[in-house]
Amino acid sequence: MSQPDQPSGTADIPARATAGYISEYGEPPAGRWAAPGRVNLIGEHTDYNDGFVLPFALPQQTVVAATGTGEPGWTVWSEQSGERIEFDLDDVSEPGRVKGWGAYVAGTVWALRDAGFDVPGARMAIASDVPLGAGLSSSAALESAVLTALADLGGLDLPVDDRPGLAQRAENRYVGIPSGIMDQSASIRCQGGHALFLDCRTLAVEQIPFDLDSAGLTILVVDSRAPHQHVTGEYRARRAACEEGARSLGVPALRDVPIDELDAALARLDDPMIQRRVRHIVTENQRVLDTVELLRAGRVREIGPLLTASHVSMRDDFEITVAEVDVAVEAALAAGAYGARMTGGGFGGCVLALVDTERVEAVATAVADAYAERGFTAPHSWPVLPTPGAHRLP
Ligand code: GAF
183 is catalytic: yes
Q: Is the CB of 344 under 6 A from ligand 1?
A: yes
Q: How would residue 228 be classed by pLDDT, with cut points 50, 70 and 90? A: confident
Q: What pTM was computed for the model?
A: 0.96
Task: Kindly report the average pLDDT of the chain as a whole number.
Answer: 96
Pocket test for ligand 1, best of 39, 42, 47 (most atoms within 8 A of CB): 47
Report the separation in Å between the CA atom of 153 and the middle of ligand 1, taken as the mean of its atom positions: 29
Q: Where are the extended beta strands (E) located within the chain?
A: 31-40, 52-53, 55-68, 74-78, 83-87, 122-128, 194-199, 205-209, 217-223, 339-343, 350-356, 380-384, 391-392
Residue nearest to atom 5 of ligand 1 (CA): 180
Helix runs in 297-344, H state only? 304-313, 323-334
Q: Answer yes or no: is pLDDT of 1 > 50.
A: no
Region 289-311 average pLDDT: 98
Report the separation in Å between the CA atom of 332 and the middle of ligand 1, taken as the mean of its atom positions: 23
Taking the C-alpha atoms of residue 260 and residue 276, their distance in angstroms, rounded to an integer, is 16
pLDDT digit string (tens) for 329-347? 999 999 999 999 999 999 9
SS3 331: helix
Of the residues 183, 223, 317, 356, only one is catalytic, namely 183
Report the separation in Å between the CA atom of 82 and the middle of ligand 1, taken as the mean of its atom positions: 28
pLDDT at res. 231: 83
* CATH annotation of 213-384: 3.30.70.890
pLDDT digit string (tens) for 82-132? 999 999 999 999 999 999 999 999 999 999 999 999 999 999 999 999 999
pLDDT at res. 99: 96
pLDDT at res. 227: 79
Q: Which CATH number is 10-210+388-392's, of 1.20.1250.20, 3.30.230.10, 3.40.630.10, 3.40.50.300? A: 3.30.230.10
Sequence spans of domains, the chain:
10-210+388-392, 213-384
Region 154-160 average pLDDT: 98
pLDDT at res. 2: 37
Region 243-254 average pLDDT: 98
pLDDT digit string (tens) for 251-290? 999 999 999 999 999 999 999 999 999 999 999 999 999 9
pLDDT digit string (tens) for 163-185? 999 999 999 999 999 999 999 99
Q: Is the CB of residue 14 less than 8 Å from the CB of residue 32?
A: yes
Q: Report which ligand 1 atom has the smallest distance to the Cα of 40.
A: 11
